[in-house]
Structure 1
Amino acid sequence: DGLTWPDPDSKARLVVAAASDAQLRAVVRRLVRRYAPPPSRRPDDLPGNRTVPDLPPIGVLPLDPARGTTHRDLAAQLGLPRDPAAVAAAVLDGTPRRLDLLRNDGGSVTLDGALLGAADDSGRPLHWRGRVEVDDAVLSNGDDPLLACAIGNAGGYARLDDVALLGDPDPTDGLVEVAVAVPVVTRSALGRKRVRLEVRRARGRAVAVLPREGKVPFLDDGAEGELSRKRSWWTEPGAWAVWAG
């Protein structure tokens, strides 16, 4: 909390030692809560597509160096160093790399992405229903059974098992990529019933998800939660930054 920002002398360096993306997200969420101005005090120089100013760059120190090879965490996706000496060099002599941030109306933020849906005890996905909109595009009106909904700023939730949900999410393009997986029943020429998975995708500035019945479990940057009411995510282009080597 003693960090001064903006820092004209550029002497302050913030390093976050994190064992998971959820821990890194918690720090960025605190930065947003501290620096985001209330709507009534919005500064004139704040870009029209932003609600927060440029946040101070963060040095990311992954506490599990091997995690980047077993799981594509955000540091691995961004190609950030994992060795402490290399992280220190990036923080001291590197350059800031600005990245998009997702805010939501629940008061939190998303750095990588979110995955909505659940599975039974055998690991089979469970159907749920909800309306999913990306800007003016409707991916589901709430009538279709959904297996999953992926919201991507980066690519951590681009795949569900062997199914490609997101195409190529880019945390620097100012857009959020969204996909829903819908099971579609078809019949062969012999009348046999088959189920194929239809993936619908869209990109935009904002996405809204409204569950139609009950609660929908989700993972947001690895943090678990349940969605029971409408939730909206929107993009803050270039709002946060990491020190890159």
Structure 2
Amino acid sequence: MSAPEFAAHGTRQRPQQLLVVIDPLARRFDGESVRIAKDVLSAGAPAKICLPDTPEEFARALARRGHRRPVVIGNDRALLRTVGLLHRERELAAGVLALVPVGGSGELVLARSLGVPTGAVAAARAVLDGAPRRLDLLVDDSDGVVLGGIRVPALPPAPEGAGRAGAAPGASVWGACRSLVRGLVRPAAAGDAGAVAHRLRVEADGEVLSDLDRPVAGVTVHSPGDGRAEIVVRLPDAPEPLRARAARVTISGADFHYGADTRVAGPVRTRTWTLRPEAWSLTLPPP
């Protein structure tokens, strides 16, 4: 019997109860990994298993967690949904979350970057034996949350055939949309031909890094985990990007889309993100 199972006077402590919320996409994608994770968790601690089928049922299950520690089995989007719900309840800082990632490799990028094991057994063991780690959070002015980072890419080039007589009228629009989404979710290589710069104003703690009179090839914002956001502004006419550290970042200008973690958002004309240091806790394997 391990030492943490005993109280100070030698009596056995019950493990903390778990609320295991299994995202429906995880059940459809890899039911075997879900079953393994559920069995490992249930063998290690008292667990209430919830199988929501809709986002509304997911939210209700989380709201009724009581004193149970929430454990999400699902992909990056399931984690983001959970953090967003708890943030809007203003209860995010009060407890500790845990994640067992289940999904395709492209759906677990955020989980890997946060240090969560991606194997079902290893991740479930980390839930039981790991330790909470305080993490920073970016919150925007519409109360949306960002765990990883933000990216405003260069605008996509005009699609081939956009100016040709007789081209299908919807083809160029959808081609541009597809190019934009690819740029938001997958960083482009430096010097990509045909990319079009924005006219954006970028402010860091009220200081203007770049204004509307200067073209911007892309902006990224992320938190290195030290209580400040790192802002990188790429300029097409400069060999090196502009860099700054700040607690508050505002991007404004003509309508623009942006990538926030796994999501594509916009168009907006202005958006402000505020860094909240150590705003939430995630259970991770011991170092």
TM-score (norm 1): 0.70
Please state if 1:177 is matched with 2:230: yes
Q: C-alpha separation between the residues in 2 aligned to 1:242 and 1:226? A: 28
Query: Paired residue for 2:215, among 129, 133, 145?
Result: 145
- Asked whether 1:200 is paired with 2:238, we answer no
1:35 pairs with 2:90 = yes
In 2, are the aligned partners of 1:13 and 1:91 still within 8 Å (CA)?
A: no
* CA distance in structure 2 between the aligned counterparts of 1:128 and 1:242, rounded to whole angstroms: 36
- Which of 89, 103, 108 matches 2:144? 108
Aligned twin of 1:119: 156
1:180 CA drift (Å): 1.0
Q: How many pairs were matched up?
A: 189
SS in 1 for 2:65: coil
- Which residue is equivalent to 2:26? none
Q: Deviations over 1:46-87 (max 9, x none)?
A: xxxxxxx624222122213x62xx788222223221112222
Counterpart amino acid of residue 59 in structure 1? A
One-letter amino acid matched to 1:222: T
Residue 95 (structure 1) aligns with: 131
Contact 1:216 1:227 in 2 (8 A): yes
Name the % identity: 31
> Partners of 2:239 and 2:278 in 1: how far apart?
34
Offset of residue 104 of structure 1: 0.8
Pairing 1:40-55 to 2, within 5 Å after superposition: 54-55=93-94
Q: Please name the residue that 1:160 is paired with.
A: none
Partner of 2:70: 14
Partner SS state of residue 116, structure 2: coil
Answer 1 or 2: which has greater helix percent.
2
Answer yes or no: is 1:56 the counterpart of 2:109: no
Q: Which amino acid letter does the alignment assign opposite residue 258 of structure 2?
A: F
Alpha-carbon distance between aligned partners in 1 of 2:229 and 2:243, rounded to the nearest angstrom? 11
Between the aligned partners of 1:217 and 1:61, the Cα distance in structure 2 is 30
Distance in structure 1 (CA, Å) of the matches to 2:90 and 2:145? 13
SS in 1 for 2:142: coil
**Structure 1: distance between partners of 2:222 and 2:196:** 21
Q: Is the 8 A contact 1:132 1:139 kept in 2?
A: yes
TM-score of the two chains, using structure 2 as the length reference: 0.60
The separation in 2 between residues aligned to 1:236 and 1:202, in whole angstroms, is 17
CA drift at 1:140: 0.6
1:179 Cα deviation from its structure 2 partner: 1.0
Cα distance between partner residues in 1 of 2:266 and 2:122: 38
Alpha-carbon distance, 1:198 to partner:
3.6
Deviation at 1:3, TM superposition (A): 2.2
Aligned-residue Cα RMSD (Å) equals: 2.2
Deviations 1:153-185 (A, max 9, x none): 2xxxxxxxxxxxxxxxx1x2111111111111x
Q: Which runs of 5+ in 1 are unaligned?
A: 37-52, 154-169, 185-195
- SS of corresponding position for 1:35: coil
Aligned residue type for 2:197: H
**1:200 to partner: Cα distance:** 0.5
Equivalent in the alignment of 1:235: 275
Report what 2:23 is aligned to. Answer: none
Larger relative CO (CA 8 A, sep 6+): 1 or 2?
Answer: 1
